[in-house]
Amino acid sequence: MLVAPTVLFLAVWFLWPVLSMVTLSLTSRSVDGVMVEGFTLENYVRLFSTDLYFRILIRTIRIAVLTSLIGALFAYPLAIAIARGGPTMARVVTITIIAPLLVNVVVRSYGWQTILNKTGALAYLLKSVGVASPPVLLYTEWAVLIACVHVYLPFMVMPLASAIGRIDGSVEEAARVAGASRLSCFLRIVLPLSLPGLAVGVSLVFSLSAAAYVTPQILGGNFSPLLGTLIEQQILTLNDWPFGAAISTLLIAMVLITNLVFLKIVNRRFARWAGGAR
């Protein structure tokens, strides 16, 4: 009885819309826009058989994976500074990481647009160090990747900082006394024990990056669209709701399966390491 309101809320506002979207993705429409009765896989066949749509799918996966990997590389030093630094350093780093979340994602995206354009701060900096022809990053995958890493980095840092903060510092001290280097301590102690936090961070960043719409639309435009942009075009511009629902269903399934597989691998690795340590 205590969980009944929560279950009812999720069933009405989450499960039912998802099931309706899946059902819509299995329908089709005629040339004049009228829905055709019966179920069909035509939308999914079209999605995988059309080269443009398949390239957008691959680009979405690539951006999400790279954002997760690069975010993890940047997040570990910041998380260690929060968990192992003094109170002042931890406070400064935390405020620096959290502060961008107070700014609307549209404003942040336009900020990156002014930095990455031909006359922006990055081009000026490269020219000042002797680069005659700075690379054009705006409206490319690089622009989308840079902005996604910046936007979603806090979602990687905070779970890692929480996981590293729970590691007993005496374990690292004992390893250093035994002659282990800082790199060895990180690879053999901090990294394995922080895997649960890493799993949470990667799951969040991958999911948010794969479903991103505003940042790719502003910084990638029509040159580097992701699935979110394609869904918006199919539903609002072309009014093709069945095909837009098929893309949305594929996006949800892709994110869900990827997260489940990654979490299973990480949990198995963590359990194996913990069993060996005992």
CB 75 within 8 A of CB 153: yes
Q: What are phi and psi of 28, to 5 degrees?
A: -140, 170
Integer CA distances (angstroms), 206 to 99, 113, 190, 215, in order: 21, 23, 22, 15
Domain covering 49-277, topology: MetI-like fold (1.10.3720)
pLDDT tens per residue across span 78-118: 999 999 888 889 999 999 898 888 888 889 899 998 888 88
Please report, for the chain, the start and end positions of each structural domain, with discontinuous segments joined by +.
Answer: 49-277
pLDDT tens per residue across span 212-270: 999 999 998 888 889 999 999 898 888 888 999 999 999 999 999 988 888 888 877 77
CB 80 within 8 A of CB 165: no
Integer CA distances (angstroms), 110 to 96, 98, 122, 143, 268, in order: 20, 19, 14, 11, 42
> Which pLDDT band, with edges at 50, 70 and 90, does 77 fall under?
very high
Helices 51-84, 87-98: axis angle to 10 degrees equals 160
